[in-house]
Structure 1
């Protein structure tokens, strides 16, 4: 039996790793901060796992807290032995860097946002999407003079996040009759954003009322570009 779930929740469950990538830890007792994945080491702005690749590859448990590793006395409980030459050199570097670290049993670890100010949704999205170029269609949408609820509907359709039947099927939503095809067609194809709003005969009749005819192929963003070029 297929697991029932949603890709949306899968993405949400990954946010813990994203959170650790945009914060820096001020150590207290070191019990809740992760040795390899949190940013806490000296003046480094990246986790140890990204700096000491050799040592990290021999690690037994990558989610061990800082306190457990710093106070450990038996390397066989931390690393898969024997270590390579590179890993040994990296471990020495880590040991030298942690010699001055003093844990405070009466104080908890504290996280601070390292995105250039107090945490905000805008800073978070700017960081996550810093290497992503948005399609021009999104700019056209947000600059349009229309109610925000229409813009939100358009935004969800551009991202293919409307609850069309193909989307409901992806999230394991059981439809009556177990059918996920378009209800408006004689020979119903799969109901997608492109079909529902651009190529469905019913939709084409609606567009014909305002004198618009969309291309027969292309994804939703390509169709919008073609429409803008033809009708401005």
Structure 2
């Protein structure tokens, strides 16, 4: 039931915070076991397992990923009743694929929350050229890693129609007819850009019997999945830390052992050095390893350097 609502409505921040608090308490406290320490920060726990987390994920990001499913389905289900209703209310987007993303703030409906994630969603969509009659030559992402309007800004500034489709510029035969339309004569720099653009597109072939399509760049099949969108939204911009993911989670040992090894890898086991920081009035003093009685007790010492541990 909760997934159903998350796939239709934007979850309020207060509700998401309350759900995550319940998750945190259940993870660290269990059921009726009294107060226990939250050993690892919730931000780390929410990271994917490949980045050292448990893969819980933020509720708000999961909500966005579920809402993105409707943006993917909209252009693919043109004959569906819900598609026709949305189209009749909001109209079509200038790209010809999506519904209009300009929604009045007075409208209280699920689509208002869905269109708010359009910018995040569109980052991971690409167009596959068929006959070229639906893909915009300058605005859409279909050639390279950026739109041609972004790659050639000088040309884009002087084109007459920024929404012109591919087939209207290239023509129906090869070699292409190059039907460019500019507001004025081009400068020398703009002519150089145009020549470079024409050379780069010379290997393109239009398939007039195949319609244009939109693909999902995060999936090898080109089809949208909530999981791939969620992982992309959860991915940290920083370089991923070195974490022994396969060693921890692919080992043939009980899950409790895997969980303990995960804590050890994060150096969050309740060793004496950490206990002195958390509860200085209750911890053992001095900070001595009770196995070798020589060095301070820490996760690194206890599991890697302790002479008694090495002898096991």
TM-score where L is the length of structure 1 = 0.44
Pair member with larger Rg: 2
